[in-house]
Amino acid sequence: MTRKPVHLALYDTFADWETGHATAHLARAGYEVRTVTPAGEPVTGISGLRVLSDLTLDELRPEDSALLILPGADRWDEGDDLAPFARTARAFLDAGVPVAAICGATAGLAREGLLDERAHTSAVSFYLAATGYAGGDRYVEADAVTDGNLVTAGPTEPVAFAREIFRLLGVYDETVTDAWYRLFHDSDPEAYAEYAKATAR
């Protein structure tokens, strides 16, 4: 079965650790992961990791994608430079294509009004409240939250973020997803055997 690619949005200061579990295991499950930068330029993450771009933001279309992943970055809170990524997230959600946002990207979605009517989470509630958004009553104290086609998580929850993405895309059945989570979140040795057996090729 041919799958549409997953698109990973990248911009300078992106938080390298937040999406690695998701993208690595999506790739292992057969998804192509393609990088999207503002103008097709290489970008540098918060660690200094430099990443090449596969396409520009203007070239990205919801109908060509299985999922848009938005990592956090200092730049989400430094002005409006990343607002076009939040507007693209709106286009994806309007088209019924999933979006997953973590850390600072959730603030970008809040500013765009995308969290006003959806259950969501982030780093802490007052971080999003500072955006002036109208969705404070939909904030959930949880490691990660899925509402419809939108996944949100805080910066300390990359494993839960990945878990929700896997569930949303149907990457694994629930038993395998649970074993994967217990392995990578809890270092559960029994989960290793369950996950390895279920995913053996």
Residue position matching structure tokens 């409240």: 129
**103 belongs to the catalytic site:** yes
Q: How many CA atoms lie within 13 A of 57 on its CB side?
A: 20
- Catalytic residue from among 82, 103, 160, 191: 103
Nearest 10 degrees: Cα torsion 76, 81, 86, 89: -120
- Chain centre to alpha carbon of residue 103: 9
Q: Where are the alpha helices (DSSP H) in the chain?
A: 20-28, 83-94, 104-111, 125-129, 158-169, 174-186, 189-199
- Rounded Cα distance between 120 and 138, Å, is 6
Active site amino acids: 103
